[in-house]
Amino acid sequence: MKLDKLLCAAVITAAVSMGSANAASITGAGSTFAYPILAKWADAYRKETGNSLNYQSIGSGGGIKQIEANTVTFGATDAPLTVKDLDANGLAQWPQIMGGIVPVVNLDGVKPGELVLDGPVLAQIYLGKITKWDDAAIVKLNPKVKLPSQAIAVVHRSDGSGTTFNYTNYLSKVSPDWKSTVGENASVQWPVGLGSKGNEGVAAGVGQTKGAIGYVEYAYSKQNKMTYANMINADGKTVSPTSESFQAAAANADWAHAPGFYQILTNEPGATSWPITASTFMLIHKKPSDTAAVGEALKFFDWSFEKGTKMAEELDYIPMPASVVTLIKKTWTADIVDAQGKPIYAAK
Amino acid sequence: MTQIAAIAVLIILGGVIASLVSGSIPAFKAFGFDFITTETWNPVTDKFGALASISGTITTSIIAMVIAVPIGIGVAIFLTELCPPVLRRPLGIAIELLAGIPSIIYGIWGLFVLAPFLQQYIEPALIGTFANIPGLSSVFAGPPYGIGTFTAGFVLAIMVLPFITSISRDVFETVPPVLKEAAYGVGSTTWEVVWNVVIPYTRVGVIGGVMLGLGRALGETMAVTFVIGNAHRISASILAPGTTISATIANEFTEAVGDLYTSSLIALGLILFVITFVVLAFARLMLMRIESKKGV
């Protein structure tokens, strides 16, 4: 009997010490948009350091809820929290990775990049006020393209999505009509069109329907070789969706004067800026209870900024510009502290 | 022991109802009865109404049953009365395998294979055929998207078919051969035997199978989400995009920020629960009446 107890105790001690030897494990939840790159980073990071990361892509809303409930080390969201919301929950926030949102169309005889659209026209189409491809407003932007007299089939996301948040945010910025009747959110009350689930659903919906228009993440339009449209940006210049134009939007954004990195990258100024750029934000508690895990997480994000850029580009994500990374690292040391007020992780 | 298990089932059911009710209280407090009678579903302004989802749930289920019940019973009749014995087993197994396919597969198949097919061949034909018939012209109206209420109903029909077929076949096989032989003996045709002997004898079982199928059609989520078009609008046309209760919940739960939004989604769940309950209760009632008639 005594031996049993002794053995039992020994086993428990061994188990506990083995657990702690395994270092702090990082857990995260949120944005589905950031999932592919986080998974790729985590895999490379584990090979290099032996530390693993467990990320559940449950959607931005879920990520916010989980970090507020303190059940994960970090949350990830495509829609930034306002400073008020951050402070209320004692959270810090920064942009980790960017991507572009691209309008895609299915029009016979129109090649990728041939069609030019601007924000107000896009808003009118999604409001159901422009219903034909040969509408005067579209013809005016595309004098050289032969546009059919075909009904526009509008396709949008049906699931709540960070992509939709950024897209409707853009439409709200460029169209007062859109702002007052629909507004911006991860899901909205669409006046017209049909909803498809996920980027793949929208890509399929546009691909199958003649005369369709939709919006997808850049990676989807590129991988499926879809007919994307060029956009006229805030400076009135025509731009194509490329890594350079997404990065231009991020570089031209005034991050230094955005408290809590609250910055939505739509309709940014700059001659080369793509107007519908989006970033995924990481959320971490400023005074975390589990300092070891948060230290590990920051180490991982630091590593991602330093060594993860090539992997991001391979997956058609856009790394943050160096100037923004410097700003982010500064806030890490200043804001994320232990009980004694000392920085948990000192970035180089 | 068995008693404990039985009580446990009741307690679990009670728990589900209680949590659905308590979760949906904020939504019903905010919108009252309007929640059931309005079509608005606007997460931006926090205004929610369930009518579009309810109507979509019922419409898709009706379309599914209209297609699946005659086909399902027909196949069962063929299998038990007409089919050469060599084919009977393989056909029966094939139909039962349809029930084993996960619903997400039906969804993807519906999106990539069925929807383009309907869009190119079936829907334009439907629109053309009914264009000049009053009433029906508005039921089959609009651009052929390939995705919409009709497509969802069609996919559901295929999904519930095996339930109706297998149960009907099983009950058809319970008809005592002596009854059929007697009918054939007095010179009935196969059709007369089926219509006047087999179906009346097995009516209760067939209705059971239909109700099981209807239960699945009402709650089916993934397959419908892929092909219904997910628009919170009620259209006269069954070719237009719509939504169902379960599709709305599946689509929006992950990103539902805010208590009222979440609560409205739970309230939708409660409504689906009530609809299913009413349908099953109605089926029981019908069965009881048929039983009692038989006794007389």
Please write the tens of the pLDDT for every residue from B82-139.
Answer: 888 898 889 888 888 888 899 999 999 998 899 989 988 898 888 888 888 888 888 8
Q: Count chain A–chain B contacts defined by CB atoms under 8 A.
A: 93
Geometric angle at alpha carbon A53, from A52 and A59, rounded to 5°: 165
Separation between Cα atoms, residue B109 and residue B107, nearest integer Å:
5
Is pLDDT above 90 for B258? no
Using an 8 Å CB-CB cutoff, list residues of chain A that contact chain B. Answer: 58-62, 64-65, 151, 153, 158-161, 182-190, 193-197, 201, 204-205, 208-209
Structure letter (DSSP) for residue A275: S
Long-range contacts of A138-144 (CB under 8 A, 24+ apart): A141/A116, A141/A117, A141/A232, A142/A114, A142/A115, A142/A116
Q: How far is CA A135 from CA A151, B145, B200, in A?
A: 10, 21, 61
User: DSSP characters for B161-228?
Assistant: HHHHHHHHHHHHTTS-HHHHHHHHHTT--HHHHIIIIIHHHHHHHHHHHHHHHHHHHHH--HHHHHHS
> What residues in A contact B229, CB-CB < 8 Å?
158, 194-196
Judged by CB atoms closer than 8 Å, whether chains meet at A208 and B232 is answered as: no
* B241 CA: distance to closest CA in chain A (Å): 6
What value of ipTM does the predicted structure carry? 0.76
SS3 call for B43: coil
Judged by CB atoms closer than 8 Å, whether chains meet at B251 and A159 is answered as: yes
Q: What end-to-end distance do the CA atoms of chain B give, in Å?
A: 39
* Amino acid making up residue B296: V
> What residues in A contact B120, CB-CB < 8 Å?
none
Judged by CB atoms closer than 8 Å, whether chains meet at A189 and B42 is answered as: yes
Query: In whole numbers, what is the pLDDT of chain A averaged over residues?
Result: 87
- pLDDT band (50, 70, 90) for residue A197: confident
Separation between Cα atoms, residue A122 and residue A130, nearest integer Å:
9
Is pLDDT above 70 for A187? yes
Render pLDDT for A42-73 as a digit per residue (tens, 0 to 9).
999 999 988 889 998 887 888 888 999 999 99
Geometric angle at alpha carbon A202, from B60 and B214, rounded to 5°: 15
A267 φ/ψ sector (left φ>0, alpha ψ -120 to 50, else beta): left
Cβ atoms of A98 and A265 within 8 Å: the answer is: yes
Selected for mutation to probe chain A from B103, B233, B255 (highest A CB count within 10 Å) is B255
Judged by CB atoms closer than 8 Å, whether chains meet at B231 and A193 is answered as: yes
Judged by CB atoms closer than 8 Å, whether chains meet at A159 and B43 is answered as: no
Residue of B nearest to A159 (CA): B251
Percent over 90 (pLDDT), chain B: 44
- pLDDT band (50, 70, 90) for residue A1: very low
* A290: nearest Cα among A130, A69, A73, A61: A73
User: DSSP characters for A85-119?
Assistant: HHHHHTEEEEEEEEEEEEEEE--TTPPTTT-EEEH
This prediction has a pTM of: 0.81
User: DSSP characters for A64-87?
Assistant: HHHHHTT-SSEEEESSPPPHHHHH
Mean pLDDT, rounded, for B184-193: 90
Render pLDDT for B7-31 as a digit per residue (tens, 0 to 9).
999 999 999 999 999 999 999 999 9
Is pLDDT above 50 for A336? yes
A212-217/A277-285 β-pairing: unpaired
pLDDT of residue B130: 87
pLDDT of residue A4: 58
> What residues in B contact A61, CB-CB < 8 Å?
254-257
Cβ atoms of A318 and A243 within 8 Å: the answer is: yes
Is pLDDT above 50 for A230? yes
Cβ atoms of B130 and B237 within 8 Å: the answer is: no
